[in-house]
Amino acid sequence: MAVSADSRPAPAVPWVAMYHSVGDCTDDPYRIAVTPERLDEQLARLGRWGLRGVSVAELLAARTRGEGRGLVGLTFDDGYADFLDHALPVLRRRGCGATLFVLPGRLGGDNAWDPLGPRRPLLTADGIREAAAEGIEIGSHGLSHVDLTRADAAVLRAEVADSRARLEEVTGGPVAGFCYPYGTVDRRAAEAVRDAGYAYACAIDPGPLGGRYALPRVHIGQNDTAVRLFLKHRLHRLRRRPVRDLPVGEDLPVRDLPAPVRDPSPPVPHLPVRDLPSETPR
């Protein structure tokens, strides 16, 4: 399906794609994996539409300069070890950047928070440093992958502020981005992220929340071939609230936002495509 970059309206919100593991999809109850071949197809398709994948930090900075029209954000949650072997070569080949959200409290561990499995190994500190050396933005996904909307004050502080400090020790550089585990965010979590010094934070569908500390994302999976990918990109700007393009690090008025939003997996709206399942982000 051909899409003209000149005729494509500028999105009201940044389009950020959410990936997780890149590898074997044969046992994937949470639909968190894509094969390297599918990832390559998806990035090649975006390229044919005049779009290039970049890190979230680069995307937001470009939008602030008024230069973000042809860019999409690429994020990889959880920090799976297969990122180095399977995702990074595809990103290099397609000339794309990305943000990798990792769990410094589970370095070298696995996705124990997914009860149905399978167990997928996570990056070690050396693996994170290798990804950073390749130009990948490293962000925090918390310490241990817990739902921050259900965390007490001590856990919230550790998952947000302590994870940033530990990651900066690992990478030797600043950590600007945060990603809410399970995509769930409420006013208290957003304030904690802002107060910890992050420049932005990614959710999934933040509902009434908005701004740089509740950026929406779109789950991309193995089933997202050309038509589905096209629809997810085009309809994103219709489903999401606008995000103000503020300089990175500028404060946002999150203290007067509505009550918590706890639904991490909203259904995809009715679309003229057969067998379009609900998204199942983790």
DSSP state of 173: S
Strand residues in the chain grouped as ranges (E) = 16-19, 21-22, 33-34, 52-54, 71-76, 99-102, 137-140, 177-179, 200-202, 218-219
Instruction: Report how far residue 21's alpha carbon sits from residue 138's, in angstroms, rounded to the nearest whole number.
Output: 16
119 contact partners, CB below 8 Å, separation of at least 6:
110, 111, 112
Global pTM exceeds 0.85: no
Residue tagged 């602030």 (tokens) = 64
- For 189, how many CA atoms within 13 A lie in the half-sphere containing its CB? 31
pLDDT tens-place string over residues 7-55: 344 445 789 999 999 999 999 999 999 999 999 999 999 999 999 999 9
Residue tagged 């995000």 (tokens) = 243
The stretches in the chain having pLDDT less than 70 are 1-12, 237-282
pLDDT at 209: 84
pLDDT at 145: 98
Q: State whether residue 234 is helix, strand or coil.
A: helix
Dihedral in degrees, nearest 10, Cα atoms 26, 28, 29, 31: -120
Q: How many helices (H) and strands (E) does the chain have?
A: 9, 10
pLDDT at 210: 81
Instruction: Report how far residue 274's alpha carbon sits from residue 269's, in angstroms, rounded to the nearest whole number.
Output: 12
pLDDT at 282: 52
* Inter-residue contact 140 to 175 (CB < 8 Å): yes
